[in-house]
């Protein structure tokens, strides 16, 4: 009898389950408020040329561990977060996983006194939940356009999961910073400052982290995606398959035990190492000035010199420098981006004098040759020779 009664209860649940709060006019106030308390506003480097100096982070431990997207904003020693109650605290990067395009931060409490336990999302538990399905209603909560500071609540948007799948990684058109499967959302959620925000379902359960701003350069359309909490990417480490998972980043990272994947084999053999060391990239669109040319490298063979007024093309913008170094293949030889160098796109290089534009064109030509030569270099050399603080193209 109990079993059967259970069946009845189930039937009733199913019936009532067809009228979720979102479809009625019930407001999302309570959900937005509870999620907002588990998010932080992150402030780092940037803040000029339209580059966001702020982002959003998700609290994943009671002691102040924060999961966010590994944007250029984290390239600073002066990282700050604002909690929902207006507290402004220092934070530091614990570990970055370029394969997931995610970073784990930790709040540095004032005077090193332990913080009062903070409200947070349980990533381990969230990762065990089934994936949201296309058509499901979601809420995106983030500090987009950095419109809120201190205790001001973040922005909440409503959307629908449009798709679940991999982002197109088509160099020159759309450069997806994450190779795994993502939620694609039908609302304009991925705005400046939104990266690292929470994608939740109607009940406020965490589904994923809002990704970067991503634009298809051919169609000038924007793709709004979120990295799911179940994110997992298979990589090749020392000839063995390794599954890089967001949940491990958090679980091990909180204990200080997470080791980012060391990818030893380049994917697809699309690109290669050139030997050009670029100046460190504090912001997303730092022009790729050459800081050094590795002796004996293809770049050196191509007689490329370190010269801080020479610019290469700008197509590698948009990735954290570690991503660039570890994973992203350099540009392919003869790619048409070389023909669209700075000289022909003056609007993208405001403030650049004409003679500089001409020199850029020259640098572009040299770079084209370099890249061609670079296509044959074995990339492992990069890992060995260069510490993480240099950006290599």
Query: For the chain, what is the HEC assignment?
Result: CHHHHHHHHHHHHHHHHCCCHHHCCCCCHHHHHHHHCCEEEEECCCCCCCCCCEEEEEECCCCCEEEEECCHHHCCCCEEEECCCCCEEEEEEEEEECCCCEEEEEEECHHHCCCCCCCCCCHHHHHCCCCCCCCCEEEEEECHHHCCCCCCCCEEEEEEEEEEEECCCECCCECCCCCCEEEEECCCCCCCCCCCCEEECCCCCEEEEECCCEEECCCCEEECEEEECCCEEEEEECCEEEEEEHHHHHHHHHCCCCCCCCCCCCCCCCCCCCCEEECCCCCCCCCCEEEEECCCCHHHHCCCCCCCCCECCCCCCCCCHHHHHHCCCCCCCCCHHHHHCHHHCHHHHCCCCHHHHHHHHHHHHHHHHHHHHHCCCCCHHHHHHCCCCCEEC
**Is residue 200 a contact point for another protein (CB under 8 A)?**
no
Q: Which is nearer to another protein, 14 or 353 (CB)?
A: 14
Query: Which residues between 116 and 155 bind another protein (CB under 8 A)?
Result: 139, 144-145, 147-155
In the shown chain, the binding pattern of residues 48 to 87 toward another protein, with x for contact by CB under 8 A and - for none, equals --------------------------------------xx
Of 23, 257, 365, 376, which one interacts with another protein (CB under 8 A)? 23
Q: How far is the CB of 293 from another protein (least distance, A)?
A: 35
Cα–Cα distance measured from residue 308 to residue 288, given in angstroms and rounded to the nearest whole number: 9
Q: Which is nearer to another protein, 89 or 369 (CB)?
A: 89
**Is residue 270 a contact point for another protein (CB under 8 A)?**
no
Of 25, 112, 219, 255, which one interacts with another protein (CB under 8 A)? 25
Q: Which is nearer to another protein, 157 or 391 (CB)?
A: 157
Of 45, 53, 61, 157, which one interacts with another protein (CB under 8 A)? 157
Q: How far is the CB of 151 from another protein (least distance, A)?
A: 7
- Please work out the total of residues on this chain that contact another protein, with binding judged by CB under 8 A: 51
Query: Which residues between 296 and 355 bind another protein (CB under 8 A)?
Result: none
In the shown chain, the binding pattern of residues 202 to 241 toward another protein, with x for contact by CB under 8 A and - for none, equals -------------x----x-x-------------------
Of 5, 130, 336, 353, which one interacts with another protein (CB under 8 A)? 5
Q: How far is the CB of 153 from another protein (least distance, A)?
A: 5
Query: Which residues between 87 and 116 bind another protein (CB under 8 A)?
Result: 87-89, 110
Q: How far is the CB of 299 from another protein (least distance, A)?
A: 33
What residues make contact with another protein under the rule CB under 8 A? 1, 4-5, 7-8, 10-12, 14-16, 18-19, 23-25, 27-33, 36, 86-89, 110, 139, 144-145, 147-158, 187-189, 191, 215, 220, 222
């Amino acid at each position: 009898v109990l079993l059967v009664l259970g069946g009845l209860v189930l039937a009733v649940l199913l019936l009532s389950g067809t009228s979720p709060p979102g479809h009625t006019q019930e407001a999302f106030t309570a959900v937005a408020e509870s999620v907002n308390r588990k998010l932080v506003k992150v402030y780092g480097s940037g803040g000029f040329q339209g580059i966001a100096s702020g982002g959003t982070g998700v609290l994943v431990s009671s002691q102040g561990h924060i999961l966010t997207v590994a944007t250029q904003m984290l390239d600073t020693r002066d990282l700050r977060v604002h909690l929902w109650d207006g507290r402004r605290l220092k934070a530091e990067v614990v570990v970055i996983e370029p394969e997931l395009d995610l970073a784990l931060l930790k709040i540095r409490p004032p005077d090193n006194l332990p913080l009062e336990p903070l409200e947070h999302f349980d990533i381990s538990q969230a990762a065990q939940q089934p994936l949201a399905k296309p058509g499901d209603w979601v809420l995106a909560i983030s500090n987009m356009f950095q419109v809120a500071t201190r205790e001001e609540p973040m922005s909440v948007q409503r959307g629908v999961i449009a798709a679940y799948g991999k982002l197109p990684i088509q160099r020159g058109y759309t450069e997806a910073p994450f190779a795994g499967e993502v939620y694609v959302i039908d609302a304009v959620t991925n705005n400046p400052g939104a990266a690292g925000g929470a994608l939740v379902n109607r009940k406020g359960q965490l589904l994923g982290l809002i990704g970067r701003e991503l634009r298809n350069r051919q169609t000038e359309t924007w793709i709004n995606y979120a990295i799911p909490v179940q994110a997992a990417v298979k990589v090749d480490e020392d000839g063995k398959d390794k599954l890089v998972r967001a949940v491990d980043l958090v679980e091990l990272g909180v204990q200080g035990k997470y080791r980012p994947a060391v990818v030893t084999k380049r994917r697809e053999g699309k690109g290669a190492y050139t030997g050009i060391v670029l100046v460190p990239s504090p912001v997303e669109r730092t022009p790729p000035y050459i800081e050094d040319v590795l002796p004996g490298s293809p770049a050196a063979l191509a007689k490329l010199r370190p010269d801080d007024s020479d610019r290469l093309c700008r197509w590698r913008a948009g990735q954290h420098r570690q991503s660039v170094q570890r994973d992203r293949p350099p540009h392919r030889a003869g790619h048409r981006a070389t023909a669209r160098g700075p000289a022909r796109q003056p609007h993208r290089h405001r403030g650049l004098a004409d003679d500089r534009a001409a020199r850029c064109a020259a640098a572009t030509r040299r770079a084209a040759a370099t890249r061609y030569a670079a296509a044959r270099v074995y990339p492992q050399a990069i890992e060995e020779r260069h510490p993480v603080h240099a950006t290599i193209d």
